[in-house]
Amino acid sequence: MISTYLAQFDQHVHFQHATRKPPFNVHFHLHKGCEIFFLIRGDVNYFVEKTVYPLQYGDLIITNEHEIHKPALTTDAMYERVTIEFNPALLAYFQTETLLPLQCFYNRPLGENNKISLTEQETSSLVDLFHKYDYTNKHPSAGDTLLKLGYLLEIISLVQRYFETNNEKELGVGLPVRLTPILAYLNQHLAEDLSLELLEKKFYISRYHLSRLFKKHTGSTIHEYIVYKRIALAKKLLKDGANVTEACLGSGFNDYTGFLRMFKKKAGVLPKHYAKQVSIQESRQMRES
């Protein structure tokens, strides 16, 4: 029941307004659910899967739990943003045949159409809601949960509307020609050997040049990218019914103990607990649909 989520609302919805002074690096990451990212200021290229989105004030990035992503700061300008991470199971209670608030998060290929460029009026509407949510977080009182739920529903409804009315879908910019086929190969062969030695021979590129090129354009290492892509694949396999051993081998982790440790580090829970959480959520939704 929805009361289960309302009783622990802040565990299912995380709102954060942050300001930081570069230089610093944000690593690739995955969330347990969906995320809305809104840039207030800073010089940022936002990396989702294998697409790079240059951002400016008034740009949104939307991602789901299967899309690895990271902001890459291109200068030392002050960086400020708002993020909202939320459990999609909560929003499922407000979905009907004609009302699909999560469509923009899932009804598209991974790493495509993640960016929504807003008009001045659209930006103003969302910023006003962000301020209200932030104020409620910082000045707690009775009834806060219902207020924050109302703000969240309004924010997501507007994001879905802006996604639908944005006629020019933001495709982002591609990575350098030298990297594009390499990333495509990585995505298609995650369960296989993806050592730098193998990539060096297959694509006739020095492993050192490849590492420098990837770091330059993403701000992270190619090893980190592969690890997060494999974790994302393991989560999908577990969700589809694979056991932990099958998910380990099917996502390219040959060391079972290492897989457990890395999954816990990146996903926050052990694989068996993740599979159990997904199963409970799906069963609950089926009972209440």
Residue 268: pLDDT over 60: yes
From residue 129, give the alpha-carbon distance in Å to each of 6, 89, 146, 260, 277: 20, 22, 14, 40, 31
Residues 115-128 pLDDT 10s? 999 999 999 999 99
Quote the CA–CA distance of 151 and 174 in Å, as a whole number: 35
Confidence (pTM): 0.82
Q: Of all residues in the chain, what percent carry a pLDDT higher than 70?
A: 93
Average pLDDT over residues 28-35: 90
Quote the CA–CA distance of 64 and 58 in Å, as a whole number: 20
Question: Could you tell me the two tokens for 186?
Answer: 């990585």
Q: Closest by alpha carbon to 196, among 176, 225, 232, 229?
A: 225
Q: Of all residues in the chain, what percent carry a pLDDT higher than 90?
A: 67
* Range 196-210 burial, b when 16+ CB lie within 10 A, else e: eeebeeeeebeeeeb
Pairing of strands 34-41, 79-86: antiparallel
Q: What is the DSSP letter of 186?
A: H
Report the first-to-last Cα separation within the chain, whole angstroms.
Answer: 11
* Range 7-36 burial, b when 16+ CB lie within 10 A, else e: eebeebbebebeeeeeeeebebebbbbbbb
34-38, 71-75, 145-149, 167-171: the lowest-pLDDT one: 167-171
Residues 57-66 pLDDT 10s? 999 999 999 8
In sign, the C-alpha dihedral spanning 171, 173, 177, 178 is negative
Residue 193: pLDDT over 90: yes
Average pLDDT over residues 204-210: 93
Residue 277: pLDDT over 70: yes
Annotate 148-175 with three-state secondary structure.
HHHHHHHHHHHHHHHHHHCCCCECCECC
**Residue 143, class by beta-carbon neighbours within 10 Å (0-12 exposed, 13-18 middle, 19+ buried)?**
exposed
Q: Which phi and psi (to 5°) does residue 59 adopt?
A: -100, 140
Residue 175: pLDDT over 90: no
